[in-house]
Amino acid sequence: MMNGERLVAIFAAVLAVVILMCGAADGENRYVFVNWEVSYAVRAPLGVAKRVITINGRFPGPLLNLTTNDVAHVNVVNTLDEPFLLTWNGLQMRRNSWNDGVTGTNCPIPPGSNWTYVFQAKDEVGSFFYRPSLGLHAAAGGHGPIRVNNRPTVPAPFPHPDGGDLDVLIGDWYNMDAPRMRAEYLDVGRDLPSPDGVLVHGLGPYEADVTLQPGRTHRLRVHNVGARTSLRFRVQGHALLLVEAEGAYTQQRRYAALDVHAGQSVSVLVTADQRPGPYYLVVSSLFVQPELVGVANVLYAGGRRPKPGNAPLGRGGGDDDGYARSMDEARSVRMNLTCGAARPNPQGSFRYGAIRVDRTILLRNGEAQVAGRRRCTVNGVSFADAATPLKLADRLGVQGVFKVVSGRPERRKRASLGTAVIDARYRYFVQIVFENSLPSLQTWHLDGYSFFVAGMGWGKWTPNARSTYNLVDAIYRSTVQVYPASWTAVFVSLDNEGIWNLRSQDLGRRYLGQETYIKVSQGTMEVPDPRDELPMPSNALLCGKAKSLKLGQA
């Protein structure tokens, strides 16, 4: 049997060749410049006015339309009266955690100023989205779709959708604003109540239109941008052919309806091959009582507009709301091994099942009283944001900003508040096990990476669980769900240096401390080779203990 390091080395070598091959086209890499003004506006999608966050006056914000290897320059102009950051949910930001846009990597953009993100969609393809990352901003909008289109030389493994691509943002919605969420719930140790409804493209029931071209096939890129609720969507009278999940091409399978958990993205093909409607896109909440429903009108171009209010709502009788059904469906979402991703030699041929695991990180989420308040914890530590971004502290040598933890549950007397970072070696092949003993579904997202979702199971994880894993064609994605009283195991090849956020996609739980960072480095004090990690950007903002420092001054 081949040993893990050799396989990883071969993988790296293949990748290098691929990068060289792509190198020929480097002169053609496009630069995409956008200028985004972030402001407040008042909207009432469910009939109750709320202050929302718009981008260039739009809610949701504009599409960021990239092609593999494009270099994006996104100038974010913050006209809010508070600091702001955007993060790029699902993009791998290769070698570039400097532009990831979370508190651990970037100083917030102060009110009344601007900052330009620069990043490359290196070797990527697929559907992603951007969203605000500070506090509870994301519950007020500020999000929008990202497409990374395939280059013509690397075709997608399905016929080009002749009806075009449509971005469909779905999400739960709270009528109350962030200060109330904090003051009446999170900061006084109460769970957020059930959301007030489900929006489709920032709009309430029957307000959004999805227009299909008769006889043609469309790619719907569906993103759950909500605060926390798992959603299930269908297009009445039409099958959904699943083709992509967060940048990996899936085995193409037909579904009548599909789960999309908070923070996840999928692409489905929908062919307008029925009699001209009207039909509805129905989005139902999962695991919430009572069920919440979002509805958009599905119109055939030139066809009749439906009369509002006559859609058969909800999931319908045969479609159950159980965790077991949902887990079975999750296991059916698999990678198409003959064509996994944007790379000419896709990750799909990366035989992850044969690689020796260098390290297992076990993350147990919990809840505890910390400093007199109910907080969310990871291995007993509730994450506390530092005033100095961890990435800056690490590079500029500012001591005492974060604490390195083991990445395993530790016996400790009581839960504590801390800025916990897991130190990991570049190029290690790591298993991460998420254990959830709570009665609610959890979601976990890792920035800078996709991981193979190898296994899920009920109860406690043990090393023997490996015998139940999918070691062949597990899906490769960046946000995964962990069912109540269960575990999810993922494999990740740590081939992207930087300090990367690992967070709950439940905004309330993240606000209460369910997040951490993984620092992927070569373990030396030297400044990384720019081939492994890009240098600190010349426009990097400085704040906290790094405010008056410059490179080399620490």
Ligand X SMILES: *[C@@H]1O[C@H](CO)[C@@H](O)[C@H](O)[C@H]1NC(C)=O
Does the footprint of ligand X cover residue 252 (CB under 6 A)?
yes
Within 380-409, the residues that bind ligand X by CB under 6 A are: none
Give the nearer residue to ligand X in terms of CB position, either 39 or 116: 116
Give the nearer residue to ligand X in terms of CB position, either 334 or 375: 334
x/- letters, 77..116, toward ligand X (CB under 6 A): -------------------------------------xxx
Does the footprint of ligand X cover residue 56 (CB under 6 A)?
no
Give the nearer residue to ligand X in terms of CB position, either 269 or 482: 269
Q: Which of 19, 339, 465, 536 binds ligand X (CB under 6 A)?
A: 339
61-69, 223-231, 267-275, 514-522 -> range binding ligand X (CB under 6 A): 61-69
Closest distance to ligand X from the beta carbon of 230 (Å): 25
Give the nearer residue to ligand X in terms of CB position, either 237 or 344: 344
DSSP 8-class letter at 47: S
Q: Which helix (H) or strand (E) holds 21?
A: helix 4-23
Answer whether the bond into residue 535 is a cis peptide, omega within 30°: no
Q: Which helix (H) or strand (E) holds 75?
A: strand 71-78
Please classify residue 353 by burial: count the beta carbons closer than 10 Å to its beta carbon, then call 0-12 exposed, 13-18 middle and 19+ buried.
middle
Does the footprint of ligand X cover residue 440 (CB under 6 A)?
no
Closest distance to ligand X from the beta carbon of 505 (Å): 26
C-beta neighbour count of 430 within 10 angstroms: 22
Answer whether the bond into residue 290 is a cis peptide, omega within 30°: yes
Give the nearer residue to ligand X in terms of CB position, either 114 or 274: 114
Give the nearer residue to ligand X in terms of CB position, either 338 or 349: 338
C-beta neighbour count of 471 within 10 angstroms: 16
Within 151-190, the residues that bind ligand X by CB under 6 A are: 157
Give counts: helices (H), strands (E), the chain: 5, 33
Residues whose CB is less than 8 angstroms from the CB of residue 372 and which lie 6 or more positions away in sequence, other chains included: none
Give the nearer residue to ligand X in terms of CB position, either 112 or 459: 112
12-20, 123-131, 331-339, 423-431 -> range binding ligand X (CB under 6 A): 331-339
Query: 399 φ, ψ to 5°?
Result: -85, 155
* DSSP three-state, residue 41: strand
210-218, 332-340, 493-501, 514-522 -> range binding ligand X (CB under 6 A): 332-340
Give the nearer residue to ligand X in terms of CB position, either 160 or 305: 160
Altogether, the residues listed in the chain come to a count of 554
| Nearest to 454, CA basis, from 437, 438, 422, 476 | 476
Closest distance to ligand X from the beta carbon of 62 (Å): 10
| The Cα angle at residue 341 between residues 228 and 331, in degrees rounded to 5 | 50
Closest distance to ligand X from the beta carbon of 70 (Å): 9
| DSSP string covering 405-449 | E-SS----SS-EEE-EEEEEETT-EEEEEEEE-SSS-EEEEETT-
Closest distance to ligand X from the beta carbon of 492 (Å): 23
Within 525-554, the residues that bind ligand X by CB under 6 A are: 539
Closest distance to ligand X from the beta carbon of 158 (Å): 7
Give the nearer residue to ligand X in terms of CB position, either 148 or 378: 148
- Cα separation of 245 and 229, whole Å? 18
Within 457-516, the residues that bind ligand X by CB under 6 A are: none
- Cα separation of 202 and 143, whole Å? 10
Q: Which of 39, 56, 75, 211 binds ligand X (CB under 6 A)?
A: 75
Number of residues that bind ligand X (CB under 6 A): 15
Please classify residue 425 by burial: count the beta carbons closer than 10 Å to its beta carbon, then call 0-12 exposed, 13-18 middle and 19+ buried.
middle
Closest distance to ligand X from the beta carbon of 512 (Å): 32
Give the nearer residue to ligand X in terms of CB position, either 245 or 378: 245
Token pair for 526:
């030297």
Give the nearer residue to ligand X in terms of CB position, either 253 or 425: 253
C-beta separation of 517 from 499 below 8 A: yes
- Give the C-alpha distances (Å, rounded to integers) separating 484 from 16, 328, 436, 513: 41, 14, 6, 19
x/- letters, 1..40, toward ligand X (CB under 6 A): ----------------------------------------
Q: Which of 338, 437, 462, 522 binds ligand X (CB under 6 A)?
A: 338
- Give the C-alpha distances (Å, rounded to integers) separating 366 from 415, 427, 435, 491, 506: 10, 30, 9, 22, 14
What is the arrangement of strands in the sheet containing 381-383, beginning at the earlier edge strand?
A: 416-418, 381-383, 373-378, 359-370, 429-436, 486-493, 451-458, 476-477
Closest distance to ligand X from the beta carbon of 219 (Å): 12
Give the nearer residue to ligand X in terms of CB position, either 149 or 360: 149
Closest distance to ligand X from the beta carbon of 68 (Å): 10
Give the nearer residue to ligand X in terms of CB position, either 288 or 339: 339
Closest distance to ligand X from the beta carbon of 353 (Å): 19
- Where do contacts with ligand X occur on this chain (CB under 6 A)? 63, 65, 67, 75, 114-116, 149, 157, 251-252, 336, 338-339, 539
